[in-house]
Structure 1
Amino acid sequence: MGLFYAFGGYGKFCRAKHLMLKLENTYHDFLGEYPTLFCKDNLDLFFQKVLVERNSKLSGYYDLPFLENEEIFAYLERNREFLDSISNIIIIGIGGSSLGTKAIDALLSHLNNRKKIKVRFLEHTDPIMIQKDLFRIKYEDTLFIVISKSGLTIETTSLFKYILARFSLLKSDRKHHLAVITDQNSPLHHWCKEEKLEHITIAPNIGGRFSVLSAVGLLPLAILGYDIQAILSGAKTISHMFFEERRDNLLKKALFLAKNEKKFPINVLFSYSSVFRHFNAWYVQLWGESLGKLDMYEQKRGLTPIALIGSIDQHSFLQLIMQGPSNKTITFLSVENLSQKPLYIPDISLKGLEATDFVNQTSFNQLLKLQCVSTKESIISQNVPVDSITLESLSEQSVGALVFYYELLTSCVGILLQIDTYNQPGVEFGKKILREKFTHS
């Protein structure tokens, strides 16, 4: 699977099953008024709080790596002939109903087992984009997957209604072109049963942004050809390392981020490959919507996520990191081996441009890797807190591990901030105002 982890980018390697971790950290240099933050008593108390939350079933995502997913496999078997005939998947959903699936597909689309099915995401109410995404789509070779916890999300339901009308999907001979993923006993669930539509349910305590390892992500990923059991295996490994082996690296990172909330309120994810672009968007939603809350004392809390792509953003945001306010932590996310077939920079010298010849005959993979290392070292030299996550390769296991790692880190920080990590009351305010505007218009 090959997931490396390190604070500060330096440390010894330690093998645990198929997972590689760098365990040393340099955050000690930034602890300031918290010199004993990482002591055993603090870590033990913190770990017990995480256990209490997991066991309380406040969120069901903790259990997702261990579920059998019978409904998914039954659907795949029941519709095997039809699914082998499709060329397109249209996913109708917003936020957590689409971002995670999009992220994993982007990270794994190079795999040989990825089927040649085009997947598009209807996740907006922009009429220009709706027409563009549905251009030349015919229902005959398309599966439409509607994803909504309740069916009451205005964006998703409005798009759903449009799809139903445009492609006449409630005709008896077209219903198999539609599949729905929703909460157990939700209004949408009851509607599906009445209409005798294919549907898969998830537990109501699985929030959208924590749902990618449920049917929300696993069903479309399985249809696309990915080994969803391997994805869950990667997530299981992270869960085992945290809860069974008691690896403290994630606890230490969460403690540092929460205790330095005021000093370092901005957390930058610097991902070194364009394949991480959609993963970055998933991270921004997960981090921002989970951690920006009123705490138990009605105080505003939160950490602000920023997502960058290297080496592109070395030429933009890096300047602010280096010489702007010292209010950021940086996480470097990279892949040791991005491509099995390396691409090399030709040994060509151009007149007047000889100063660039030092990279000739270097692989692009090595160039990107050294750009990441150089940027990291330059940032560390400015006394900016830095940590690193490096995947050996992009596989189902490593991506599953990465997703669950970030979900678990988010939960840990939320516990320390004394907030409800899994609700989103601020988002609900806007929905209420929208409904009132239509009611009174």
Structure 2
Amino acid sequence: MLSFNQYFDKNPELKHLSHPSKKALDSVFDIISLERKNQKSGYYELPFEDKALKDSQKYIQENEKFLENIKNILIIGIGGSSLGLKAIDSILSHLPSRKNISLTFLEHTDPIEIQKSLLNIQTSDSLFIIISKSGTTIETSSLMKYVINKYHLLDTPQKKSHLVLITDEDSPLHLFAKEQEISVLTIAKNIGGRFSVLSSVGIFPLMLLGYNASEFLKGAAEFEERFFERKEEHLLKKAIFLAKNRDRFHINILFSYSSAFKDFNFWYVQLWGESLGKLDIYGKKVGLTPIGLIGSIDQHSFLQLITQGLMDKTVTFISINRAKYIEPKIPNLSFKYLESTDFVNNTSFSKLLNLQQIATMETIQNEGIPTDHIEIDELCEKSLGKLIIYFELLTSCVGGIFNINSYDQPGVEFGKIRLREMF
């Protein structure tokens, strides 16, 4: 379903760096294996657990008649509480199983955006899902207070039925839910927000929308098993290449050749940036800067910088096998003065985009810029599960080489403290 191709050795200078020794591969693998064994992060176990599936199914069965009337789902959360879900739905919303339910995200304290998002939203056909590990994130708690007050969601048991909370076990938000008798689903405390999409944070809303959530977990489990069986060594090689060349190539670009991946790029940027921008065990600042681009749009805004700007970037391409997409086609029309564009006539837009991606990748490679390519054979729940766990494992591997904790975010906490002081 997914193929991974690396071209780090296109540049003769990098050839020796793109083939790490077995000792180096074993060392990184041992770091990640120990992390998993010691449960440093709970995301390693999510693909193999059924808690999220069972909790979600239990809620759906107990509220079957109520859910028949739901036309709007509003997700109130920020960062890891919303980006993964938004990414998956953006990519897979074309699937026939996707229910005709509007999905809205309240994740911004911009007053204009708040009013725009809630326009025409009525309590009677809406479900508000509050997602926060603690409930004390200012953006989420403020937005939660606003919708509770606006729609009187705590006034009666019937109104409360339009609320569902997803949070850590025994968190302040969990305690609030139990006291108010509001439906609540919990996740393990050692699962960070940006690694939580395969928990109830993502699985519950995806099931409500009609997706086959078990396939997400199955895909992730298959890839993770192969990784720990040493059958996906390309991931270790890439992690070593990026980490060891961090001073030379400190910007990592994800160039996704489908507009459906716009939100996936945002998810990747948070995962990569917040996990790897840290102080290492020696107090040195380390990190890699993520950038998300969409092809072919960003060929006209960023490609110039990549090819002739500073040689400080690596590029990962994501593309879809477009053999199935033969329509629509470019009409076989020729206009006076515009004859230079006729060479693409009678070509499918799918083929055009595919060739644009290949041309861009070869142009970048010819400049000696390190690239790799992930091709997805079919956009479905299983392939997305594999893609998600691939990037999570890659992040952990690079963090392990950096000697950092990939799962905290002290720099973000400093900002929260400063905000409280300002108030």
Asked if TM exceeds 0.5, the reply is yes
Amino acid aligned to 1:63: E
One-letter amino acid of the structure 1 residue matched with residue 29 of structure 2 = F
| Secondary structure at 2:167 match in 1 | strand
Listed one character per residue, the Cα deviations across residues 112-159 of structure 1 (whole Å, up to 9, x for unaligned) are 000000010000111111000000100000000000000100000000
CA contact (8 A) 2:258 2:295 kept: yes
Matched, 1:76 2:60: yes
Aligned residues: 420
Residue aligning to 1:125: 109
Q: Please list the CA deviations of residues 279-312 of structure 1 after superposition, one character each: whole Å capped at 9, or x if unmatched.
A: 0000000000000000000100000001111001
Cα displacement (A) at 1:29:
3.9
CA distance in 1, matches of 2:189, 2:263: 25
Amino acid across the alignment from 2:330: I
TM-superposed deviation, 1:36: 8.7
Matched, 1:26 2:25: no
Checking the alignment, whether the CA contact within 8 Å between 1:30 and 1:385 is kept in structure 2 is: no
1:138 aligns with 2:122: yes
Alpha carbons 1:37, 1:255 under 8 Å: kept: no
Q: 1:409 and 2:391 equivalent?
A: no
**Distance (whole Å) between structure 1 residues aligned to residue 17 and residue 69 of structure 2:** 61
**Amino acid in the other structure paired with 1:396:** E
SS in 1 for 2:374: strand
Match of 1:175 among 148, 160, 169: 160
Q: Quote the offset at 1:174 in angstroms.
A: 1.0
Q: Which amino acid aligns with 1:327?
A: D
Instruction: Give structure 1 stretches of 5+ with no counterpart.
Output: 9-24
Structure 1, 285-294 or 338-347: larger mean CA deviation: 338-347
Structure 1 segments of 4+ aligned residues over 6 angstroms from their partners: none
Q: Distance in 2 between matches of 1:118 and 1:338?
A: 30
Where 1:26 maps in the other structure, the secondary structure is helix
Deviations 1:9-51 (A, max 9, x none): xxxxxxxxxxxxxxxx63784547x659611121112211110
Query: For the structure 1 residues 82 and 339, does the alpha-carbon distance in structure 2 shift closer, same or farther, using more than 3 Å as the test?
Result: farther
Shift, 1:340, TM fit? 4.6
The 3-state SS of whatever aligns with 1:181 is strand
Aligned partners of 1:146, 1:95: CA distance in 2, in Å? 13
* Separation in structure 2 between the aligned mates of residue 198 and residue 61 of structure 1, nearest angstrom: 24
Within 2, Cα distance between the matches of 1:27 and 1:204?
A: 43
Q: Is the 8 A contact 1:31 1:37 kept in 2?
A: no
Preserved contact between residue 181 and residue 199 of structure 1 (Cα < 8 Å): yes
Q: Which amino acid aligns with 1:47?
A: F
- Alignment partners' CA distance in 2, 1:332 and 1:35: 20
TM-score by length of 1: 0.93
Residue number among 23, 31, 38 corresponding to 2:20 in the alignment: 38
Q: Is structure 2 residue 383 aligned with structure 1 residue 398? A: yes
Contact 2:29 2:236 in 1 (8 A): yes
1:98 matched to 2:97? The reply is no
How far does residue 90 in structure 1 lie from its aligned partner after superposition? 0.5
Distance 1:35 1:264 in 2: 13
Q: Which amino acid aligns with 2:22?
A: K
Q: Distance in 2 between matches of 1:234 and 1:316?
A: 35
Q: Deviations over 1:297-356 (max 9, x none)?
A: 010000000111100111111000010000000001111128656211111111111111
Letter of the 2:3 counterpart? F
Structure 2 residue 263 is matched with structure 1 residue 264: no
Q: Distance in 2 between matches of 1:304 and 1:388?
A: 19
Return the letter of the residue paired with 2:38.
Answer: S
1:157 matched residue in structure 2: 141
- Corresponding residue of 1:49: 31
* Contact preservation (8 Å) 1:7, 1:27: no
* Residue 430 (structure 1) aligned to one of 399, 415, 420: 415
| 8 Å CA contact retained: 1:28, 1:35 | no
- Counterpart of 1:7 in structure 2 is 6
Match of residue 183 from structure 2: 198
- Name the CA shift for 1:343/1:35 in 2 (closer, same or farther; >3 Å): closer
Quote the sequence identity (%): 55
Superimposed CA distance per residue, residues 143-201 of structure 1 (whole angstroms, 9 cap, x where no aligned partner): 00000000100000000011111111112211111000000010111111111110000
Name the CA distance, whole Å, in 2 between partners of 1:282 and 1:81. 34
Alignment of 1:32-431 (within 5 A): 38-69=20-51, 70-170=54-154, 171-337=156-322, 340=325, 342-431=327-416
Distance 2:375 2:253 in 1: 16
Letter in 1 for 2:95: L
| Structure-2 separation of matches of 1:283 and 1:338 | 26
Output the CA distance in 1 between the equivalents of 2:5 and 2:214: 27
Q: Secondary structure at the match of 2:158?
A: coil
The residue identity in structure 2 corresponding to 1:6 is: N
Q: Secondary structure at the match of 1:307?
A: strand
Matched AA of 1:139: T
Cα distance in 2 for partners of 1:199, 1:220 equals 13
C-alpha separation between the residues in 2 aligned to 1:95 and 1:108? 20
Secondary structure of the 1:308 match is strand
Q: CA deviation at 1:111?
A: 0.4
Deviation at 1:79? 1.2
Q: Contact conserved, 2:91 with 2:379, CA < 8 A, in 1?
A: yes
In structure 2, runs of 5+ residues without a counterpart are none
Distance 1:180 1:263, change over 3 A: same
Judge which range, 331-340 or 309-318, deviates more.
Answer: 331-340
| TM-score, with structure 2 as normaliser | 0.97
SS in 2 for 1:173: helix
